[in-house]
Amino acid sequence: MILIMKYVNSFCHLQKLFFFNYIRFMNRLLLFLCLLIGHTAVSQSVSITITHEVNHQPMRTNKAYYTAQGDTFTITKFKYYLSNFSFTSESGENIKLPPEYFLVSDDSAASKTISLTGLPLGRYKAVSFMIGVDSIMNCTGAQSGALDPIYGMFWTWNSGYIMAKLEGTSPASHLPGHVLQFHIGGYRGAHQSQRMVQLQTSFVVSTGKTPVVHLVADAATWFNGSNPIRFSETAGFMAPGTIGDRIADNYSHMFSVKKK
């Protein structure tokens, strides 16, 4: 038997591919039929908008803010992944949407509206989601869309997504240029930075109407929570590790439902 590598056509493989394409095709067809039949597919979507704030004030580039510890700081970059949305119906049933990944960035207005589809009609009382990218997608190889590494949210020196990134400046920072640079990541072992968020909010998914859930993300929570950060001690962190875990704990409280 000669064991040098050879190329051969595999019929089995072809069949498998055709099967997958067939399934994909049927999905498209089904979606199309739903669109044709009525507004069912449209009404089953929910829209989530996100407003960025710092200490309850609108986030502005280069505006000065204060931490609870009294450090002045500005924000120049603020972006994070949201994924794995699920909703709790009024009867307490948990409806998990297929895993989808969204990169929210303060400099992109479009990224601050997230459209989710596939939610059954009915009344809902809570939404939950992950800040970050789940461990599976951290080790599944090359991705496109929001998970494309071109967005600078992927570590090459130690594979894994940067779950959330905040950069800026603070006079208290001892780093060159008094910069702040927090890249929070790590998906395995002792340092897992994915955080789940659950928020109570009631809304109705009905025919012909897309409900909108308005959320606020307050960046001050990164430094003010149960693990206060002093920029004189910690002005940057860009690896999986304890400080990253603590900041992730802090920012797991950054979301709230916008008061009307």
Partner 1 sequence: MNSKTTYVIMAFCLFLVGISLRGKGPGPGVTYVTLRLPDSLPKPVYDFSKNPLTKEGIALGRYLFYDPKLSRDSSVSCGFCHQQFAAFGHFDHALAHGVYGRMGIRSVPTLFNLIWQKDFMWDGAVNHLDIQPMSPIVAENEMDMPLNELLDRLKCNEKYQQLFKAAYGTEEVTSERMFKALAQFMATMISFDSRYDSVKRGEAGVAFTAEEAGGYKTFQQKCAGCHKEPFFTDFSARNNGLPYSPNMNDMGRMRITNNTGDYMKFKVPSLRNVMVSAPYMHDGRFFDIFQVFAMYDHGQEKGSTVDPLVRGMQLSAKEQRQLYMFLLTLTDKHFLKNPDFSEVMIAN
**Residue 167, C-beta contacts closer than 8 angstroms, at least 6 positions apart:** 75, 76, 77, 78, 179, 180, 181, 182
Site map 91..130 versus partner 1, x via CB under 8 A: ----------------------------------------
Question: Which of 18, 19, 24, 123 lies at the binding interface for partner 1 (CB under 8 A)?
Answer: 24
Helix (H, G, I), strand (E, B) or coil at 206: strand
Give the separation between CA 75 and CA 89, rounded to whole angstroms. Answer: 37
Helix (H, G, I), strand (E, B) or coil at 207: coil
Helix (H, G, I), strand (E, B) or coil at 67: coil
**Contact region with partner 1 (CB under 8 A), list: 76-84, 87-95, 114-122, 147-155:** 147-155
Q: Count how many residues are written for the chain.
A: 260
Annotate 143-156 with DSSP letters as a single string.
--GGG-GGGS-EET
- In the complex, what is the shortest distance from the CB of residue 243 to partner 1, in angstroms, rounded to a whole number? 11
Nearer to partner 1, 25 or 121 (CB): 25
Question: Which of 70, 150, 176, 226 lies at the binding interface for partner 1 (CB under 8 A)?
Answer: 150
Is residue 37 near partner 1 by the rule CB under 8 A?
no
**Contact region with partner 1 (CB under 8 A), list: 94-102, 132-140, 201-209, 213-221:** 132-140
Question: Which of 132, 168, 225, 240 lies at the binding interface for partner 1 (CB under 8 A)?
Answer: 240
The token duo for 36 is: 């044709």
Question: Which of 10, 47, 49, 72 lies at the binding interface for partner 1 (CB under 8 A)?
Answer: 10
Is residue 200 near partner 1 by the rule CB under 8 A?
no
**HSE-CB for 160 with a 13 A CA cutoff:** 21
Is residue 7 near partner 1 by the rule CB under 8 A?
yes
Is residue 13 near partner 1 by the rule CB under 8 A?
yes
Is residue 70 near partner 1 by the rule CB under 8 A?
no
- Residue 116 · residue 50 · CB < 8 Å: no
**Residue 126, C-beta contacts closer than 8 angstroms, at least 6 positions apart:** 87, 88, 198, 199, 200, 201
Residues at the site binding partner 1, with contacts judged by CB under 8 A? 1-10, 13-14, 16-17, 21, 24-25, 28-29, 32, 138-144, 148-150, 154, 156-160, 189, 191, 239-241
